[in-house]
Structure 1
Amino acid sequence: MFGIYLKRELGRRKKAALVIALGLALGIALVITVSSVSAGMSKAQDKVLQSLYGLGTDMTVTKARSAPASGGSGGPSFKFGAKSSSSTKQSSDRVMTQGGQALKSTLVTKVAGQKGVASAVGALSLNVTKVDGSFTQGKAKTTTGSSTTGSTSGGQGQPGGGSGSSGGGQPQVQGGGADFNVNSYSVVGVDVAHQGLGPLASMKITSGRTFTSAGTTSKVAVVGTSYAKEKKYKVGSTFTISGTKFTVIGIATPDSSESTTDLFIPLKLAQTLGDAKNEVTTIYVKATDSQQISTVKKEIQSNISGTTVTTSADLASTVSGSLSTASSLATSVGKWLSVAVLAAAFLVAALLTSSAVSRRVREFGTLKALGWPSRKVTRQVVGESMVNGLIGGALGIAIGVGAAYAVTAVSPKLTAQLGSTGGGGGMGGGPGDGPGGQSTQNTLEIALTAPVSLTTIALAVGLAVTGGLIAGAMGGWRASRMRPADALRSVS
């Protein structure tokens, strides 16, 4: 009886039921869309952070670079040997640590032993500036009258008298100069025995292979995709850093965005090249419990003085650009807007249901006169409202999922500007820092997606049921207060 009557009444009031369902559908669709976009924002921010310090890293430990000694510039310098040949080719590599002051390798073990730390790995960031080219020696020429006497020696002419001939002029150096190319790139020394944590963890080997755990002193390198394309490197290519020849064994592509590292080499070789024996610039830390990161940070800071501990939350505050702006809008404006629209949809549904009950005075009054108790009338109204709510929920889920997939299909590009400060800024002053810990800013591009999770769908169903119950409760309360006499008074 209940089902038959319910079906008949909904069929008679299709238009009113559709209006109530559409109102709920729009509110639920907006909630799904905003939730999915917010999840996509969080996913994009995670990709940005992973591109800096590697998948699985919860925090980094660094030390601020001290100011250069008095009278020292702290900048790169090059020394070339003077030779007597007229054209001399010169080449020199300047290798400097970057990303903060060097830490003793023993600190890695000390950090790993702190309470709440699952594992810790050290890495050494270097900046290599290669200068190569040639000097050309000029020639001193002295003019005597209408003739010119040339000499490759700068000391031939005498001031005021040239070579002693009458009418001679001052000797002049003609020709000569220098032509040099400067190439600067970043190198990171990784612990080949623990590649699952640290800078190489955010990279995917797309050609060749990665390091072997036994190759701690192997003269091999993994090259970032962008740098390999620029230098036309491929697996098997060779290059030289400060007289040490390396062979490319793999090409690595970042899991997302762009990598700030050009070359990866074994840590021990990086320490040798950078004159940083048993030293690292960054310690990558993974916590045993991701919910206790702030506690682990305090533990490390209190037990290891002089170091800077940077968590993903700290680094996220330095992310700016359209990604940060869109994330803030989705978190604040978007969520509050969806709540307001949903509340309005619930209120409209309740008012429409209550209004529909008012127009059914004769119907409910007659049913009570025939012996229907108030609870049965209330159940009838609530049942109709629940069906309207479920229909609205189904429509809302369809619209919301469609909007989320549309966002994913378009994949709008968002930029993230990652500010880092000297001496361990960013996520511990990683490979993105300039030589000597100077401030830099990296701009990454992220494609936005809007993943729809089962949790979001469950939330939508819950909202649909809630909307139906709210509307049904108000309409049922109104219907339960009707008396048979009301039906008789409404008869004209």
Structure 2
Amino acid sequence: MFGIYLKRELSRRKKVALVVALGLALGIALVITVNSVSAGMQKAQDKVLESLYGLGTDMTVTKARSAPGDNASGGPRFEFDAQSDEDEEQSSDRVMTQGGEALSASLVEKVGKQSGVANAVGALTLNVTKVDGSFTQGQAQSGSGQSQGEGGPGAGGTSTGQPQVQGGGASFDVNSYSVAGVDVTDQDLGPLAGSEITSGKTFTTAQSNAKVAVLSKSYAKENEYKVGETFKISGTKYTVIGIATPESSESTTDVYLPLKQAQTLGDAKNKVTTIYVKATDSQRIDAVKSAIQKNISGTTVTTSADLADTVSGSLSTASDLASSVGKWLSIAVLAAAFLVAGLLTSSAVSRRVREFGTLKALGWTSGRVTRQVVGEAVVSGLVGGVLGIAVGLAGAYTVTAISPTLEAELGATAGGMGGGPGGGMGGPAAQQSSNALEIALTAPVSATTIALAVGLAVTGGLIAGAFGGWRASRLRPADALRRVE
């Protein structure tokens, strides 16, 4: 009886039911779309942090580079022999540590012994500036407007100006790339942790001081290096044993070497620039950070949360809009939809005074009348929920299909730490103002979001039913008799 009457009444009042359903559908669709875009923003930010901070890394320990003294040189110097044979190729490499001030390698063990630290690994980041080219000797020619002997014999032509050197000069190419020294005994944490070896192999524990290298995919492709080939850094020849592909965004590291080899290249024996730290419990990261800062003075501890605060660019702007404006807009639209649904249902009950009064005269209780009104409202809400989910999924799919590109810039954190190699602070980007990455935005829809939409649909129906049910419960059979014409 309840179902039959419910179906008949909804069929009679299609317009009101449709308006209620569409209002709820609009609010629910907006909630799904905003939640999906917000989830995509969070996913994009996690992707940025994973690629720049490090897979499995909870925090890094570095030391801010001290201000240079008055007598410190401002930058790299290169010296070439200009008296060499013409067109002789000359080359020079300048290797410098990057990131922060070098730390003693013994601090890695000290950090590892702090309470709450599961593992600690040291790494050394270098920047290599390679300059190669040649000088070309110029040719001396007379400086007069008329060269010697011009006009033939007897013409009286003579050269009167000073000889001038024409042609010649220098042509040099400058190439800069980053190098990361990896602790080959523990590669699950550190620069290589965020990359996958897609060609060749990675380092073995026996290669702690071997002249071998792993190259990033982009660097190997740009320079046409393959596994088994060799290249030189400051006169030292290294054999390529593997090609690493970042698991997320592009890494800022071009070349990976065993830590001892990197220390030798950078003239930084027993030094590291970054200590990668993994906590025993993700809930204790702040406590571990405080313990390291307290027990190891002069260091800067940066967590992934600290790094997230430095992300700017269009990704940050869009994330702020989605999380603030979008969510508040969703709440406002939902509140308006609930209110409109309630008012329309209450208004519909007012127009059904004769009907409900007659039903009460026939023996319907107030509770039964209320349940009838609430049932109609809940069905309208569920229809609105289905429509809202469909529209919301379409909106999320559209965002994913378009995949707008957002730019994420990782600014320098305290102590001058920027995005590090393969995921860490203290890398080559530490000397730059920011490290920009482009991320394609997606809008994933989770089961939680769908469940939220269903819950909102039911809630909207119940709110509308509550308005109408309260009005219907106050009706008396006499009201129906008064309106009989």
TM (norm. structure 2) is 0.90
- The answer for the alignment partner of 2:438 in structure 1 is 445
Q: How does 1:400-479 map to 2 (within 5 A)?
A: 400-420=392-412, 424-426=416-418, 430=425, 432-433=427-428, 438-479=431-472
Match of 2:251 among 241, 249, 259: 259
Judged with a 3 Å threshold, the aligned counterparts in structure 2 of structure 1 residues 427 and 108 are, in CA distance, closer, same or farther, namely farther
What is the aligned partner in structure 2 of residue 157 from structure 1? Answer: none
The answer on whether the counterparts of 2:418 and 2:431 sit within 8 Å (CA) in structure 1 is: no
Output the CA distance in 1 between the equivalents of 2:481 and 2:206.
95
Structure 2 partner of 1:338: 330
1:164 aligned residue: none
Identical-pair percentage: 76
Write the distance in 1 (CA, Å) between the matches of 2:469 and 2:192. Answer: 63
Q: In 2, are the aligned partners of 1:389 and 1:467 still within 8 Å (CA)?
A: yes
Given that 1:186 and 1:261 are in contact with CA atoms closer than 8 Å, whether structure 2 keeps it comes out as yes
* Candidates 454, 469, 480, aligned match of 2:473: 480
- Say whether the 8 Å CA contact 1:101–1:423 is kept in structure 2: no
Change (3 A) 1:421 1:369: closer
Deviations 1:104-141 (A, max 9, x none): 11211222222222222211110011122334567899
Asked whether 1:58 is paired with 2:58, we answer yes
List aligned pairs for 1:341-380, cutoff 5 A. Answer: 341-380=333-372
Structure 2, unmatched stretches of 5+, are 149-158
- Is contact 1:195–1:201 with CA below 8 Å preserved after alignment? yes
Structure 1 window deviating more from structure 2 (210-219 vs 48-57): it is 210-219
In structure 2, relative to structure 1, the CA distance for the partners of 1:363 and 1:64 (3 Å cut) is: same
After superposing the two structures, state which structure 1 stretch, 270-279 or 82-91, moved more. 82-91
Residue 40 in structure 1 maps to residue 40 in structure 2: yes
- Further displaced range: 243-252 or 260-269: 243-252
Q: Say which SS state the counterpart of residue 119 (structure 1) adopts.
A: strand
The runs of 5 or more residues in structure 1 that have no matched partner are 149-166
Give yes or no for contact 1:433–1:440 (8 Å, CA) kept in 2: no
Secondary structure at the aligned position of 1:259 is classed as: coil
Tell me if 1:188 matches 2:188.
Answer: no
Deviations 1:241-279 (A, max 9, x none): 122211222222223332211111111211111111111
The CA distance in 2 between the partners of 1:141 and 1:384, in whole Å, is 103
1:168-197 Cα deviation digits (max 9, x unpaired): 998987776443322211111112222222
Note the C-alpha offset of 1:215.
2.4
Once the two structures are TM-superposed, the CA of residue 381 in structure 1 deviates from its matched residue by 1.0
Structure-2 residue corresponding to 1:235: 227
1:24/1:464 contact within 8 Å kept: yes
SS at structure 2 position matched to 1:214: helix
Other-structure match for 1:151: none
SS of match in other structure, 1:66: coil
**Distance (Å, rounded) in 1 between the aligned partners of 2:33 and 2:374:** 28
Bigger drift between 36-45 and 208-217 goes to: 208-217
Number of residues of Structure 1 aligned to a counterpart in Structure 2: 470
8 Å CA contact 1:236–1:248 kept in 2: the answer is: yes
Report the CA distance between 1:86 and its aligned residue. 6.0
Q: 1:440 Cα shift?
A: 3.2
SS at match of 1:118: strand
CA RMSD of aligned residues (A): 2.6
Residue of structure 1 equivalent to 2:153: none
1:369-414 deviation digits (Å, cap 9, x = unpaired): 1111111111111111111111111111111112111111111111
CA deviation map 1:26-51 (0-9, x unaligned): 10111011001000000101111112
Distance in 1 of aligned mates of 2:171 and 2:292: 50
Q: Per-residue displacement from partner, 1:456-477 (whole Å, max 9, x unpaired)? A: 1111111111111111111100
The alpha-carbon distance between structure 1 residues 173 and 372, as it changes in their structure 2 partners (threshold 3 A), is: closer
1:100-139 to 2 correspondences below 5 Å: 100-135=100-135
Preserved contact between residue 417 and residue 426 of structure 2 (Cα < 8 Å): no
